[in-house]
Structure formats: structure tokens, C-alpha cells
Amino acid sequence: MKVYFSHGKESGPWGSKITKLANIAKMHGCKVDSIDYSNITDPDVRVEHLLQSLDGEDDEEVILVGSSMGGYVSLVASEKIKPKGVFLLAPALFIPGYEKQAYSYSNNVEIVHGWSDDVIPPENSIKFSKSNNCVLHLIPGDHRLKDSIETVANIFTQFLQQHKVPAKEKQ
């Protein structure tokens, strides 16, 4: 299994949040990659970039993880590739100017959003989760979820376990 991370608009491919979650995925025996969108500001061009990066991964199960704009990118891309799971952190859904405003539901989406997010309103994740009956974790924290990283890490670990990605045995 391979986990692909998509960062937000103003972050980079190996920020502290992605690095923490990538290490958890590795502990569960997953390969990881974090796509660099640093020079791409258009979210829909980022979707195409992710899809191109995934081209040829037909033989391997994939999990998409996206934060903020990367959450939008991961969810929209998931409509085409049907990953094993999609894990979103404060996803930029229902944002004016983004091409996609209606999302095809996939029964393997889980969202974590901070109650104090002043960049992407938590109501956007509530709206998506309610209309698609998917798992939503509303936790203390702002948009970056930096102060809640251990909670996010625990939720991500449970997500991997629910998708049958066992932790590696310690040697």
C-alpha cells in the first residue's frame, strides 16, 4: 500500500504534520510520497498533477491524505482513481473559485477539522460529512492543527487500522 500526501496552499510537501503522519504510515508498512505543489497555485491544476503522479499505480492500493487545499485535491482526485481510503485535514471544500463544488461521495472518507479554524470554516466539513454520511472528527485546534497533532496522529493510526493496514512488528 502507498500513501500519497497533498499539502496545503501555503505549506510544503514535508511540513511537520505530513512528516508525522508519513512516519506513522511507514510504521504500518506503507510506502509514502508527498507531492510537491509549491509552484502550483490553482487547486484544479494540482488535481491533475496528483492524477499524473498516480498514473501507473494500478497494481498498488492507494490512500490519499490531504490538508487544506490538498484535501480538496485528494477528494477530487479520489473520484477518478477510487483509492482504498481518503483522510482529510481541514479540507478546502465549498470554496468560491474552486472548480468543483459538488463532490462524489466515497464511503472511505474521513475528515479531521479544528473547531477554531478561521481559514476554512468547520461548517464546510460538517456540510460534506452530513450530506455524505462520512466520519468527521471535530477537535480543538485551528487550521494548522499544530496544537492537536497527537490527536490527529491517533485518529490517523485508527484510520489505517480500519483500512487493514497493520502496524509492523517491532524487531
- CATH number of the domain within which 102 lies: 3.40.50.1820
Q: Residue 90: exposed, middle, or buried by beta-carbon count in 10 A (0-12, 13-18, 19+)?
A: buried
Residue 32, pLDDT above cutoff 70: yes
What is the rounded CA–CA span in Å between residue 51 and residue 35? Answer: 11
Domain-located, residue 167: no
Task: Note whether 74 and 53 are within 8 A (CB).
Answer: no
Domain-located, residue 170: no
Predicted pLDDT of residue 166? 60
Residue 129: domain span: 2-162
Predicted pLDDT of residue 164? 74
Number of domains in the chain: 1
pTM: 0.93
**Based on C-alpha coordinates, what's the Rg of the chain?**
15
Domain-located, residue 55: yes
Domain-located, residue 58: yes
Residue 170, pLDDT above cutoff 60: no
- Summarize the confidence of residues 100-104 as an average pLDDT: 88
The SS3 assignment for 153 reads helix
Predicted pLDDT of residue 39? 94
Domain-located, residue 131: yes
Domain-located, residue 49: yes
